[in-house]
Structure 1
Amino acid sequence: MSDRFTKGMARNIYYGGSLFFILLFLALTFDTVIALPERENRAELTDSVAHGKEIWEENNCVGCHSIMGEGAYFAPELANVFERRGNANEAAFKAYLNAWMNAQPTQAPGRRQMPQFDLSDSEIDALADFLIWTSRIDDNDWPPNIEG
């Protein structure tokens, strides 16, 4: 084998493969940078959405829930909760989320319990704005089922 496969051949395969994968990486990075403005909704980012994200982080919601597949899978995915529970009606969703958050823990038998975070109505509205904003990101129809 050593008479057919020389050090020079190995070096050429190494450098050729490295160059190929570097160029592939650069092309995919460029494609992603070009596609991002069409998929995100940065223009709709408001102070209320940012405050909702802060509440999300302060209360470690990602410790149980996930958004667009990122986070824990202990509780439901929330990337599409606005469509699931609000039927694309912001006022209805905010009322639903407020009632849901204030009813916790439900003590329903056989169900995992969400803790009571004692959020104010304005904090729940900000959290709802964050979840509404998140639901409007083009995430390739994630999650794959409607119930998350």
Structure 2
Amino acid sequence: MREVMTKTMARNVFYGGSLFFIVIFLIMSAQSVQYIKNVSTANAELTDSVARGKHVWEKHACINCHTLMGEGAYFAPELQNVMARWDVAEDPEDAFETLKGWMESQPTGIEGRRQMPQFNLSDDEIRDLAEFFLWVNKIDAQGWPPNDAG
């Protein structure tokens, strides 16, 4: 083997290595997209009500206090599994009634406790937000949150 690499050899190593890693990158990207499609939302049908609930979530900046699948602020509880914690993950009407009762009771006024503001949401907004939380609850979060309390 030669001790000196020629320009042609260096160019061939560069182009060959670049091509190899570009192909690996494309294969891994395609595999990741397929995995996300099949696993994360396999049991969760996205409806117009869910989309409107996500809009309510964004409009009132809920993520400024709450987390959703680990993303957001850690001031208030994680809400990915809130419907399962409240044991209403199977019935949309129960989810609506429970969320409505919770939202209407805020702020609680308990001394020394962080207070959630009163957003004065309409019944339609609360119903859509409940649908959004039901949809999020169905996503395979792969063990998140690490405890049931969120």
Contact 1:55 1:127 in 2 (8 A): yes
Distance 1:36 1:112, change over 3 A: same
Q: Which amino acid aligns with 2:51?
A: A
TM-score, structure 1 as length reference: 0.82
CA deviation profile, 1:32-53 (whole Å, cap 9, x unmatched): 1221222215862111111111
8 Å contact kept, 2:56–2:129: yes
CA contact (8 A) 1:86 1:96 kept: no
Q: Percent identity?
A: 52
Structure 2 counterpart of 1:124, one-letter code: I
Structure 1 partner of 2:48: 47
Residues 1:34 and 1:116: Cα distance change in structure 2 (over 3 Å): same
Q: Please tell me whether the aligned partners of residues 86 and 92 of structure 1 are also in contact (alpha carbons under 8 angstroms).
A: no
| Unmatched tracts of structure 1, length 5 or more | none
Q: 1:27 aligns to what SS in structure 2? A: helix
Residue from 105, 130, 133 that aligns with 1:103: 105
Q: How far off its partner does 1:70 sit?
A: 1.5
Q: Which runs of 5+ in 2 are unaligned?
A: none
Moved more, 22-31 or 105-114: 22-31
Alpha-carbon RMSD across the aligned residues, in angstroms, is: 2.5
Q: Distance in 2 between matches of 1:76 and 1:5?
A: 62
Give runs of aligned pairs for residues 124-139 of structure 1, distance below 5 A.
124-139=126-141
Change (3 A) 1:144 1:14: farther
Instruction: Specify whether residues 20 and 142 from structure 1 end up closer, same or farther in structure 2 by C-alpha distance, changes over 3 A only.
Output: farther
* CA distance in structure 2 between the partners assigned to 1:73 and 1:10 by the alignment: 51
In 1, Cα distance between equivalents of 2:109 and 2:12: 66
Q: Is the 8 A contact 2:44 2:135 kept in 1?
A: no
